Amino acid sequence: MDAKLLLEQLFPAGQRVDFDGQYFSGTGQTADGEVAVIGTTDAAAIGVELAFRIAGQVLEIVRSHPRRPILLLVDTQGQRLSRRDELLGINGYMAHLAKCIEVARRAGHRVIGLVYSQAVSGGFLASSMLADTCYALPEAEVRVMNLPAMSRITKIAVERLQDLSQLSPVFAPGVENYLRMGAIAELWQGDLADCLEKALAAAVGHDARRDRGLARQGRLLAGPVAERVRHGGV
């Protein structure tokens, strides 16, 4: 879905969002007040500048708008692949963004991630996946890597990976798999403003993704193994 159309559906009461290249930010009106919006378009490749910019906006919200909820609408093909980004330490910029989101959460800002188009790899890790809760539109594309690239690196035939994709949510790109594995809480359909309102009202607490993954039978071991290590004797 187009970002502008999305914003209209999320905020029928009104919104003021500025678009600058592949970056956008602003606010949307809900029944309970303003929600800060930060996002990207066009499956942006996130390099140091964009990660830095998003982080800066998060900090600005924390500084200037106490407790204002933050909605992350990051459409990304993943990290920018370039020697320059590596040279400058893009992993550090991604981590910085992650820390800024954490600071916001700890300062009482509800952070909601909505995957509205693409979410891939490092770009996904450093943004939507750090929200209190991450949601997605049904048409969203979520993945670690495309199958041909995975095939090249693992040396497993693409056909084999495709077959296995049918059997297990573990490999296949797809929002349904991330839903089943617990990373995405729910898909938003129909009245998106209503979905947002419910999300804003939902309780937040510990990282519930392992519990969800187990309940939905998408990730059977993550929860139990973590529990065993946490509480196990030596």
Partner 1 sequence: MTQSYYEASARERLAAVLDPSSFQEILPPSARVMSPHLRQLDTPAAFDDGIIVGEGRLDGQPVLAAAQEGGFMGGAVGEVHGAKLVGLLERALDTRPTAVLLLVESGGVRLHEANAGLIAVSEVMRAVLAVRGAGIPVIVLDGGQFGCFGGMGIVARLCDTVIISEEGRLGLSGPEVIETTCGVEEFDSRDRALVWRTVGGKHRTLLGEAGELVADATAAFRAAAIRALALTPDLSLEALEREHAALGQRIERFGECHDAVDIWRALGVEDPERLPLLEAADFNTVTAGKRA
Question: Interaction with partner 1 in 147-176: which residues (CB under 8 A)?
Answer: 150, 152-154, 156, 160, 164, 167-172
- Specify the residue for token string 């909605």: 71
Chain center to CA of 18 = 21
- The region of 4-12, 31-39, 68-76, 225-233 touching partner 1 under the rule CB under 8 A is 225-233
Contacts with partner 1 in 20-59 (CB under 8 A)? 48-49, 52, 55-56, 59
Is residue 87 within the footprint of partner 1 (CB under 8 A)?
yes
Q: Do 97 and 54 form a contact (C-beta atoms < 8 A)?
A: yes
Residue 73 buriedness (CB in 10 A; 0-12 / 13-18 / 19+): buried
Is residue 122 within the footprint of partner 1 (CB under 8 A)?
yes
Q: Cα–Cα distance between 124 and 6 in angstroms, integer? A: 19
Q: Cα–Cα distance between 58 and 101 in angstroms, integer? A: 7
Query: Which residue number, 69 or 122, has a Cβ lying nearer to partner 1?
Result: 122
Dihedral pair phi/psi, residue 140, rounded to 5°: -65, 150
Query: Which residue number, 58 or 192, has a Cβ lying nearer to partner 1?
Result: 58
Query: Which residue number, 12 or 56, has a Cβ lying nearer to partner 1?
Result: 56
Residue choice 135, 178, 192, 193 for contact with partner 1 (CB under 8 A):
178
Is residue 227 within the footprint of partner 1 (CB under 8 A)?
yes
Residues in binding contact with partner 1, number by CB under 8 A: 78
Mark residue 67 as left, alpha or beta (left: phi above 0; alpha: psi -120 to 50; beta: remaining): left
Is residue 201 within the footprint of partner 1 (CB under 8 A)?
no
Q: Smallest distance, Å, CB 72 to partner 1?
A: 14
Cα angle 44, 47, 49 (rounded to 5 degrees) comes to 105
Is residue 113 within the footprint of partner 1 (CB under 8 A)?
no
Is residue 191 within the footprint of partner 1 (CB under 8 A)?
no
Residue choice 3, 35, 130, 185 for contact with partner 1 (CB under 8 A):
130
Is residue 1 within the footprint of partner 1 (CB under 8 A)?
no
Query: Residue by residue, what is the 3-state secondary structure of 141-208?
Result: EEECCCHHHHHHHHCCCHHHHHHHHHHCCCCCCCHHHHHHCCCCCCECCCCHHHHHHHHHHCCCCCCC
Query: Which residue number, 101 or 192, has a Cβ lying nearer to partner 1?
Result: 101
Cα angle 189, 181, 94 (rounded to 5 degrees) comes to 85
Contacts with partner 1 in 64-83 (CB under 8 A)? 79, 81-83
